[in-house]
Amino acid sequence: MSAFPTARAVRTTSEGLLWEPSERWVRGCKGEVTVVDSRHPVLVWEPEVSVPLYAFPREEVREDLLRPAKNPLTGTHSGSRIFYDLEVDGELLENAAWTFPADDLAGHIAFEWFSRSGRGLDHWYEEDEEIFIHPRDPHKRVDALPSSRHVRVEIDGTVVADTRRPVLLFETGLPTRYYIPREDVRLDLLVPTEHSTGCPYKGTAEYWSWRGDADVPPHLVWSYPDPLPAAGAVVGLLAFYNEAVDITVDGDRLERPVTPFTTALSARPVT
């Protein structure tokens, strides 16, 4: 199944970009300075990238803060036509903004998100709610449903979790994640890490690694201590990467899925 939207509102450019207008009021800030204040943003999906970004009409962007890029990037953002550096309060952020080559998006400027790329604007808002990492995809759903399925998780043959009261999280384009109460997890076999990630649908996650000698990647267990409302049912529960552990549901062992996380997990150094 394609991870990209297929609704009729989505348009395709000759460069392979997908885009559609959004009715959300979007603001992007660098520190206390509002750089973008837009009531007419468009969502853009780049080829081979499953999550969208925003582009904005020039008149809704602080163009007085943009400078032609001193060291423009090449081969990024679908062959972008022009890159800009952003200067705010004496700080110069290189290649923080760009324009797409597509005629459909002429007159629009897109920005990097600091929490995603390490550069660019560091605070974003849809209406009055702050969002993180990337815009929320209107074609994507996240449903967290309490269940009575019997879920067992094994790592290298050791049962590390066993529950009949999981919360199943269904997220478009990803395998079902099984969130398990802490009382049903062998926490003595896990060690907390300083790793954390952010998700625009679920919030900020904390992580644990396997304490044993099994050849598994670090940070393969996570939890949302303060999830966003859409995922409120998983608060404090623990989930395991299906890609790296063995999960049995109602007596049937699941195949390990191949997802965008598979390569990242296999590339991490083993602890």
What pLDDT, in 10s, does the model give residues 92-145? 999 999 999 889 999 999 999 987 777 889 999 999 999 888 999 999 999 999
Copy the structure tokens of residue 236.
């404090």
pLDDT (tens digit, 9 = 90+) per residue, 36-56?
Answer: 999 999 999 998 888 899 999
10 burial via Cβ count (<10 Å: 0-12, 13-18, 19+): middle
Q: What is the pLDDT of residue 1?
A: 42
* Angstrom distance (rounded) from CA 78 to CA 153: 41
Domains of the chain: 11-131 (2.170.150.40), 142-267 (2.170.150.40)
More confident residue, 248 or 7: 248
Tell me the average pLDDT across 7-32: 90
The answer to whether residues 17 and 105 touch, using CB atoms and an 8 Å cutoff, is yes
Distances in Å between the Cα of 100 and the Cα atoms of 6, 10, 103, 148 are: 21, 17, 8, 48
Tell me the average pLDDT across 11-19: 90
Query: Which range is least confidently modeled, 16-20, 22-26, 113-117, 199-203?
Result: 113-117
> Roughly how many angstroms between the first and final C-alpha of the chain, as a whole number?
34
Q: What is the pLDDT of residue 268?
A: 52
pLDDT at 192 over 90: yes
* Angstrom distance (rounded) from CA 246 to CA 242: 7
The model's pTM is 0.81
pLDDT band at 8 (very low <50, low <70, confident <90, very high): low
CA angle (50, 51, 56) in 5-degree steps: 135
Only one residue has tokens 């939890």, namely 223
Residue 149: how many CB atoms within 10 A of its CB? 12
Q: What is the pLDDT of residue 269?
A: 45
Q: What is the pLDDT of residue 121?
A: 95
pLDDT band at 82 (very low <50, low <70, confident <90, very high): very high
Tell me the average pLDDT across 156-170: 97
DSSP H or E segment with residue 77 = none
Percent of the chain with pLDDT over 70: 95
Ordered strands of the 26-30 beta sheet: 33-38, 26-30, 123-126, 129-131
pLDDT at 179 over 90: yes
Tell me the average pLDDT across 212-217: 86
Q: Indicate the pairing of strand 167-171 with strand 66-68.
A: unpaired
The answer to whether residues 143 and 170 touch, using CB atoms and an 8 Å cutoff, is yes
pLDDT band at 3 (very low <50, low <70, confident <90, very high): low
Q: What is the pLDDT of residue 270?
A: 36
pLDDT at 256 over 90: yes
* Angstrom distance (rounded) from CA 123 to CA 37: 12
pLDDT band at 267 (very low <50, low <70, confident <90, very high): low
Tell me the average pLDDT across 221-230: 95
